A and B are shown apart, each in its own frame.
Chain A
Amino acid sequence: MTKAAAPAVPDEISASCRVPLLVLFTSAALWLVIGSAFGLIASIKFHAPAFLAACPWLTYGRVHPAWLSSVLYGFCVQAGLGVTLWLFARLGRAPLAQSWLVILGAVTWNLGVTLGVLGILGGDSTGFETLEMPAYGALLVFIGYLLVGISATLTLHQRRERPLYVSQWYLLAALFWFPWIYSTADLLLLKFPVRGVAQAVIAWWFADNFLTVWLALVGLAAAFYFVPKLVQRELHNYYLALFTFWSLILFASWAGIPSTAPVPAWMPTVSTIATALTLLPILAVALNFHHTLENTYSKLASGQTLPFVAFGVCGFLVAGVMRIFGAFFDFHQQLHFSWFEPARQFLNFYGFFVMVMFGAIYYILPQLVGFNLPSPKLARLHFWLAGSGVLLLVLPLAVGGVFQATQLENPAIPVTDIAHLTLSFLRVSTLGDVLVLAGHLILLGNLIALTVRFYRSQAVTAYSEATADLFKTSEVKP
């Protein structure tokens, strides 16, 4: 153990993180743009069912999972891993360990996601929601995660600041959460498939542990780091944050089985109780941030990072409350089949996780390359586009979903009529898709511009260093 080593300075950490994190963040942003483009295509299908219908690769049932896989595996996990590495290095005051593993892992991961998404579009989807990527893609994705995870674990192990901050708790749990759930689900669904509805139960278990637990652990870890740091206050209550950690991993991990499921009744019952208990972490998060921010709420509007993170935390709280709310409606069974459920999911990953990651990336990037963003105004525009896009995407679908569910309750209303009712809401949400996509393009542009600028300046320095010698010798000669 390198206990004796002196804490690394930020410059040293940034230098060790630079290339691996640029690779992770740039490819994540690229996937986000690709994914959102798929999302837009899927959304346009509700304006014209025959849109691109002749092309099997772009039928709704393939574009929709391609969208979710690109966003979840392409962006969310990749950006989450990048932020994990950076937080481990910064909080542990140690340079990134074995950074070549991260680059190798990122390449493997991206290859896996590419194969997986192409597989889905080509008709090789597994048929399990959130696990659609076929086995050949999933295997590479898993290996890629392990490679990055080894580097993250080593970085944490070699930390020179021994006490752990609460963010490190969250990230360490998340780090090993994903390979466990992903390998379990892939082995029991794709390699040695179990029988009958046990498949559905395992798929729900995975989706819940990934979309609720993993995203929350990583997203909240980043929020617990950035909010106190940027408003220059201590986190209000460290133990409350630990309570959030415990209640989250204990309750949210049981909440996956929907009440409609054709399985023995105890499973949905246990999940409903667990869902109700997720109110505890939600309240604890709200309380902690409220007290941390008391009287300084105005600071949230400043800078490039805080607005995103603040929006994200609100997204987390609202999505969590929507979930509890949905489980206790009279018509919750129909609500589960309505657009309310996708609305909650979009809010959870677009409104919470992706937004927090944007904020984190905008903070980390300038530190990595030693330049400020080319245009802070552009980041601001990105915030407004992404924020209004998420609202336009989620609100109409949530409201439309409630209408849809009440009408599904009434057998006198034909399904076609209900579909037509939801169409108007869906069409508004297409606008949200467009805004979100525009915002993501800005992120990608910012990332590429900064990387190019950094390497150009590197080249200029290298060139002048190399040529400086030349000038010296030419001066001496005569």
Chain B
Amino acid sequence: MNYGPLVFLAAFFALAGSWFGLVLTPQVQVGRLQQTNSVPGGATYPVARPGLAREGLDVYRANGCAYCHSQQVGQTGTVCDVVLNEIGTNPPALFAALGKLKGMSEPQARQLVSGLPKTILAGKAKEEADAATKALNAAGAKAQVWIVAVGPDISRPGWGVRRSVAEDFLFDYPVMLGSQRIGPDLANVGVRLPDPNWHLLHLYAPQAMIKGSIMAPYPYLFEKRKIERFPSPDALVLPPQMAAEPGFEVIPTPQAKALAAYLVSLRADIPLFSAPVTVASASAPASTNAPAGATNAPPTNAPAK
């Protein structure tokens, strides 16, 4: 019997199935994703990176930064905190409510409400947090439920406030999520380290900026040159032991500047429907109808330069 055509058909349908499932369907689902709006806030998200940062993405790609740095934050779950913003009009009732919620005496409750806003309950389920907020608000106080992402990545200082979602990468080409964490995750490096000059110094001499760093220096992204009449305003301000010899200065190349601009443009901290989180700007008094933190300017548009 001749099984040749059978083998061919078997392999054809197996691969066609996988192609349909993991190429075509993702393309239909996430390949056609459009801009979305932040929730709350309603600002358009994401906005395209500014031109220099877009050029920086190519420097990031060409030098293979993604082989050491991931750009995706994970979270293991979402919890709710209850934040008390104002004591309100009826302190005795509030203390009673707090006493009931947390099982504390009145003096303890009185001490608790000093220095508001303050997190009263942390790490609760949505229903529990809602009930607590309702009880506190019934006592005349102004309390609010905060949605908080949790997980090892989120707990790392500056790594991010929520998980990365497909929307974060909408306008990038190529999308470089990275597969290794030899260095720290960079999904929110622009939030954590918003100063491009810091990044330039770090690219030139990583160990001078972060003690014990194992990152390679990138001297070819800089140019050491003789100071002509005046020192260049672009010249790096290096610590004494790293400084160029007298009469010389270190100037970042356009590539280095673009890369730094790209790095500070990396921020995925906007609350979205698919990754809800309460960010600090939303802590404005919840008593008005205006969505918290709503301004005309999209929050990510301005590079922190």
Contacts and interface: CB of A to CB of B under 8 A. Distances in A.
| Interface residues on chain A, size class | 35 or more
Nearest to B213: A416
A195 interface: yes
A378 interface: no
B267 interface: no
A61 interface: yes
Interface in B128-164: 152, 155-157, 163-164
Interface stretch (A101-109, A172-180, A443-451): A172-180
B243 interface: no
A267 B24 CA distance: 12
A61 B164 CA distance: 23
A261 interface: yes
A65 B220 contact: no
A61 B183 CA distance: 13
B7 A164 contact: yes
A264 B29 contact: yes
Interface stretch (A119-127, A226-234, A381-389, A459-467): A119-127
Contacts of B182: 419, 422
B238 interface: no
A91 interface: no
Contacts of A209: 15, 18
Interface stretch (A13-21, A306-314, A336-344, A366-374): A336-344
A196 interface: yes
Nearest to B71: A262
B248 interface: no
Given A173-B14, A180-B19, 19 more contacts: A49-B206, A51-B216, A53-B218, A53-B220, A59-B218, A126-B61, A172-B8, A196-B31, A197-B30, A197-B175, A201-B22, A201-B30, A209-B15, A258-B179, A262-B166, A264-B30, A411-B156, A411-B157, A415-B184
21 contacts: A49-B206, A49-B217, A50-B216, A59-B220, A127-B176, A156-B4, A173-B7, A173-B14, A193-B174, A198-B31, A201-B26, A250-B14, A261-B177, A262-B169, A264-B30, A338-B181, A339-B180, A342-B180, A408-B152, A416-B211, A423-B214
Interface of A: 45-46, 49-51, 53-56, 59-62, 64-65, 123-129, 156-157, 162-164, 168-169, 172-173, 176-177, 180-181, 184, 188-189, 193-202, 204-205, 209, 245-246, 249-250, 253-254, 256-258, 260-264, 267, 270-271, 333-334, 336-339, 341-342, 404, 408-411, 415-417, 419-420, 422-423
Interface of B: 1-4, 7-8, 10-12, 14-15, 17-19, 21-23, 26-27, 29-33, 61-68, 70, 72, 74, 152, 155-157, 163-177, 179-184, 206-207, 210-220
